Amino acid sequence: MLRFPNIIVIGLTGMSGAGKSTVSAVFKDKGFEVIDCDKSARCAANRHAFLEEVANRLSKGFIKSDGTLDRAAVADAIYRDEGVRERYQRIIFPYIVYDIVTRLKNSRGITVLDAPTLFESKLDMVCDMVVCVTASLELCAKRIALRDGISERQASERLSSQHKEDFFKENSDFCIENNSSAEELRLAAERTADKMKGEFDV
């Protein structure tokens, strides 16, 4: 495990639509530094070296005429084809991990990696503890459909390409289940944050 001096690294991950963003916001309110790994992914997707790799190793069709990544085309392809998803992840993850490790070197205290693909990118290897957020597949599908303006069937198809609830529970130190109200989720996140502070005596 890669360790960083002066900081405690908490991995925050979970099912799409389960409420991870709410938990991340609560952790920030509790005084934890939060690194949004999706932002690192967006930054990586703008790098010329990454775009060249995608064009040469995956498909030139994923690059727009202006030289930027066609995010819609990539999203559609990786949800439909597991092989494409794995190849795309092998290209982008090194860029994301480099950016996050660089940011961790400048962090202090308890730092949360808000990372949907924590396990796929192997970022769990730098974490002292992992927290997951889960919910029933039906609820997740409803929330994704409402959030993204798609059908529940399309949302369910997205979820089918991701890890299931049991996987997250088995590979995490804390699990926050969100099958109730937003207020219950916030309270559960606050309790979890307090428990982690107790674990690390901060």
Its sign, for the CA torsion 74, 78, 83, 85, is positive
Q: Count other C-beta atoms under 10 Å from residue 174's C-beta.
A: 19
- Per-residue pLDDT tens digits for 188-200: 999 999 999 888 8
pLDDT score of 1: 54
pTM of the shown model: 0.89
The pair of structure tokens assigned to 54 is 């995608």
Backbone angles phi, psi at 59, to 5 degrees: -165, 130
pLDDT score of 158: 86
Its sign, for the CA torsion 121, 125, 126, 130, is positive
pLDDT score of 76: 85
pLDDT score of 108: 84
pLDDT score of 2: 62
Sketch out the chain's domains with CATH numbers: 7-195 (3.40.50.300)
- Per-residue pLDDT tens digits for 148-193: 899 999 889 889 888 999 999 999 999 999 999 999 999 999 999 9
**Residues of the chain scoring pLDDT < 50:** none
pLDDT score of 187: 97
Give the rounded distance of the alpha carbon of 200 from its chain centre.
23
Give the Cα separation of 166 and 124 in Å (integer): 17
Which stretches of 32-87 are assigned E, i.e. beta strand?
33-36
pLDDT score of 75: 86
pLDDT score of 4: 73
Give the Cα separation of 139 and 141 in Å (integer): 5
pLDDT score of 202: 62
Alpha-carbon distances, residue 133 vs 18, 49, 60, 119, 201 (angstroms): 6, 34, 36, 14, 23
